[in-house]
Structure 1
Amino acid sequence: MAEVDDLTLLRRHQDGDRDAFGELFRRHRDRMWAVALRTARDPEVAADAVQDAFLNAFRRAGSFRGDSQVTTWLHRITVNACLDRLRRQRPTANLDDHDPVEPRDGHHAVEVRLDVRQALDQLPEGQRLALVLVDMHGMSVAEAAQVLEVAEGTVKSRCSRGREAMARLLRHREDEP
């Protein structure tokens, strides 16, 4: 199934192929986990949200209209699952050093990563989500707009404001002893 595209797999799933959705899950679980972790900032909430997202996608595959890529649809479902869980649970910011990505250049990389995470945590939710999708996950502005269900101009302005705020916050950290 590795050579079959995502849309074909989703259609096969809709037609009753028992293996098709499993392949979609295998292909996209890591990226959805990364999106959920950066959105929720809590590994437990992220894990639950990814599970919710894939269950929703499995059950609602028939609602996929094909207006976007399957991955964009999965991103939207994952972000919405995270936001739903966060609204219900209202967790505090989790700044422990649990992160699925290992640093490559030692102590300094850990410090930088923690500074960036702390700065991201201080941004308003809309700016943080836009930056995570566009700058960290490489989505186009159009794709991020579909995932967040806002206009492209809104994503652009949230990214711009978020980048300015991040720069101020990170500059402030550099000035600290």
Structure 2
Amino acid sequence: MRGKGRLDVEIETPSALQKVEDNDLARRAAEGDRRAFDRLVHRWRDRLWSVASRMCRDYDDAQDVLVGAFSRAYSRIHQFRGDASFGTWLFRIAANECMGLRRSELRKAERLERETDRGLETRELPDLSLLPEEAALSSDLMDAINRAAGSLSEPLRIVFLLRDVEGFSNEEVAEILGISVPAVKSRLHRARAAVRTELEHYLAS
């Protein structure tokens, strides 16, 4: 739906039943049931890829985050207690993977800058503008949203994606990122303001 100064996106969030089923699958996986974990991967891979591709903004990095997150989740499944939803727990692992990758890339970039006799490799970013779960939205709107989100700083972009695209609550986003709820609200406010500014022309049309 279009409206000036307002962005309405239909968000599909996990149902209470799915959360119960996820917890049961996680318990069974912790007991050694590999098929139970495979079902969790099937349930969450698309949503995790959606966020990873936007957080990383690079196809290969997003693949690394996706594989790394599920690998760590599998190795740590016995640590999942069910206090938070499985999705919250999984997305926190993914967020840590992404931030760890970013720190590693920054260190590599610093080393490359010191190697004056070598040029930096440039890589073309893939077009990740549309994914299957977004088919209900206008392609123009989704392109505009992705461009606007891509212009945000990483801390603001991650909060915006988790809260407004994936539909996690403020409390869940705080749990995923390991920050306070007020910090989530502050970043979300700034992110939404920046996105609205970027989308002003589209929303007014």
Query: Normalised by the size of structure 2, how large is the TM-score?
Result: 0.72
1:63 partnered with 2:79: yes
Runs of 4 or more consecutive aligned structure 1 residues displaced over 6 Å after TM superposition = 91-94
Aligned to 2:44: 28
Aligned to 2:188: 159
Describe the shift of the 1:121–1:14 C-alpha distance in structure 2 as closer, same or farther (beyond 3 A).
Answer: same
| Structure 2 counterparts to residues 142-157 of structure 1, below 5 A | 142-157=171-186
Cα-to-partner distance string for 1:90-131 (whole Å, 9 max, x where unaligned): 5999765334526869xx834x43433232222222111111
Aligned to 1:89: 105
Q: Which moved more, 1:91-100 or 1:65-74?
A: 91-100
Amino acid at match of 1:101: L
Identity %: 36
Equivalents in 1 of 2:169, 2:125: separation in Å?
A: 28
Counterpart selection for 1:125 from 147, 154, 157 = 154
Shift of 1:89: 2.3
Aligned to 1:140: 169
Equivalents in 1 of 2:95, 2:184: separation in Å?
A: 15
| Structure 2 counterparts to residues 18-57 of structure 1, below 5 A | 18-57=34-73
Unmatched runs of 5 consecutive residues or more in structure 1: none
Counterpart selection for 2:139 from 94, 100, 109 = 109
Task: Kindly indicate whether the alpha-carbon contact (under 8 Å) linking 1:32 and 1:50 is maintained by their aligned counterparts in 2.
Answer: yes
Query: Normalised by the size of structure 1, how large is the TM-score?
Result: 0.82
Amino acid at match of 2:139: A
Describe the shift of the 1:94–1:162 C-alpha distance in structure 2 as closer, same or farther (beyond 3 A).
Answer: farther
Q: How many residues align?
A: 169
Equivalents in 1 of 2:81, 2:98: separation in Å?
A: 22
Counterpart selection for 1:6 from 9, 22, 35 = 22
Equivalents in 1 of 2:155, 2:196: separation in Å?
A: 17
Cα-to-partner distance string for 1:137-159 (whole Å, 9 max, x where unaligned): 11111111111111111111111
Equivalents in 2 of 1:145, 1:58: separation in Å?
A: 23
Q: What do you get for the CA RMSD once the two structures are aligned?
A: 2.8
Describe the shift of the 1:99–1:62 C-alpha distance in structure 2 as closer, same or farther (beyond 3 A).
Answer: same
Amino acid at match of 1:12: R
Aligned to 1:98: 128
Shift of 1:55: 0.3
User: Which gives a bigger RCO, structure 1 or 2 (Cα 8 Å, sep 6+)?
Assistant: 2
Q: Which moved more, 1:33-42 or 1:88-97?
A: 88-97
**Greater Cα radius of gyration, structure 1 or 2:** 2
Unmatched runs of 5 consecutive residues or more in structure 2: 1-17, 110-121
1:5 partner SS = helix
